[in-house]
């Protein structure tokens, strides 16, 4: 893109300032700088190419960018180098963690109410327990969970039922709980509405730009291996965030 009316010095200064800001906020500054260098090289401008090559040489990363490699070359290069998927900025990581924590906390509170509501309804209508078992047995949710399905008939309380089906739902995918409330305790409309609102928030989070970008990055990383053999696919290490992640004290990390 040609910018009229701005001299080269001003343009280069602005570019350096932007890159510095991005490096400061990036979780992986070196990789970001490497990516920038390859972008500069792709401009096919001799001066930019010389600058990019100099930086890459200093970083000892003077290798072709993966986008310029063939599929087989990309696979070979990736298999010999550790691959990491990062959030674009630290703020993205923090905001994503906060959003997920909010969703988890809200769902925990909702599930306490759901359990209490079902316990109350079963106490008022003892036949409801049998109806819940039949509903679960004939629902599609247990089709691929034979071990759970076989446990349901032997459960004696609503608490045991929820303990059995717990692996099938979570704070993001809570369709099972929503459908149970709608079908089995329709008189408790408030809790169903709150679950519906929670489900919408969870869907927004899951389809957010940040999460979609992470999924896209993973797909781009592993796509070449799907058609050429997954035996050479690099390992994927996922860091799980939990309540101890921010603890700095030795022995509690």
Q: What is the mean pLDDT of residues 230-246?
A: 59
- DSSP helix/strand/coil, 186: coil
pLDDT in tens, 167-225: 999 998 999 999 999 999 999 999 999 999 999 999 998 888 888 887 887 777 777 77
Main-chain dihedrals φ then ψ at residue 28, nearest 5 degrees: -135, 75
pTM: 0.57
> Sign of the C-alpha dihedral, residues 182, 187, 193, 194?
negative
> What percentage of the chain carries pLDDT values higher than 90?
36
Q: Are 224 and 74 in contact (CB under 8 A)?
A: yes
The Cβ of residue 30 has, within 10 Å, a number of other Cβ atoms equal to: 11
Q: How many CB atoms lie within 10 A of CB 253?
A: 9
Which residue is it, tokens 């992470």?
A: 214
């Amino acid at each position: 893109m040609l910018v009229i009316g701005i001299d080269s010095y001003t343009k280069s200064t602005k570019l350096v300032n932007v890159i510095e800001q991005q490096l400061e906020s990036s979780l992986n500054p070196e990789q970001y700088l490497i990516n920038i260098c390859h972008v500069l090289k792709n401009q096919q401008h001799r001066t930019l190419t010389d600058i990019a090559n100099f930086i890459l040489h200093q970083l000892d990363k003077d290798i072709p960018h993966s986008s310029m490699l063939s599929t087989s070359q990309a696979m070979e290069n990736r298999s010999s180098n550790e691959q990491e998927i990062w959030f674009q900025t630290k703020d993205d990581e923090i905001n994503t963690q906060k959003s997920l924590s909010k969703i988890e906390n809200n769902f925990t509170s909702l599930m306490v109410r759901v359990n209490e509501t079902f316990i109350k309804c079963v106490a008022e209508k003892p036949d409801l327990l049998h109806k819940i078992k039949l509903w679960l047995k004939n629902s599609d949710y247990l089709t691929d969970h034979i071990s759970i399905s076989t446990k349901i008939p032997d459960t004696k309380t609503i608490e045991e039922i929820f303990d059995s089906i717990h692996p099938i739902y979570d704070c993001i995918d809570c369709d099972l709980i929503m459908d149970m409330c709608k079908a089995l305790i329709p008189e408790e409309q408030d809790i169903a509405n709150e679950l519906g609102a929670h489900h919408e928030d969870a869907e927004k989070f899951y389809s957010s730009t940040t999460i979609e970008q992470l999924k896209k990055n993973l797909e781009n990383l592993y796509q070449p291996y799907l058609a050429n053999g997954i035996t050479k696919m690099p390992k994927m290490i996922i860091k799980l965030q939990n309540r101890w992640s921010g603890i700095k004290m030795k022995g509690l990390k």
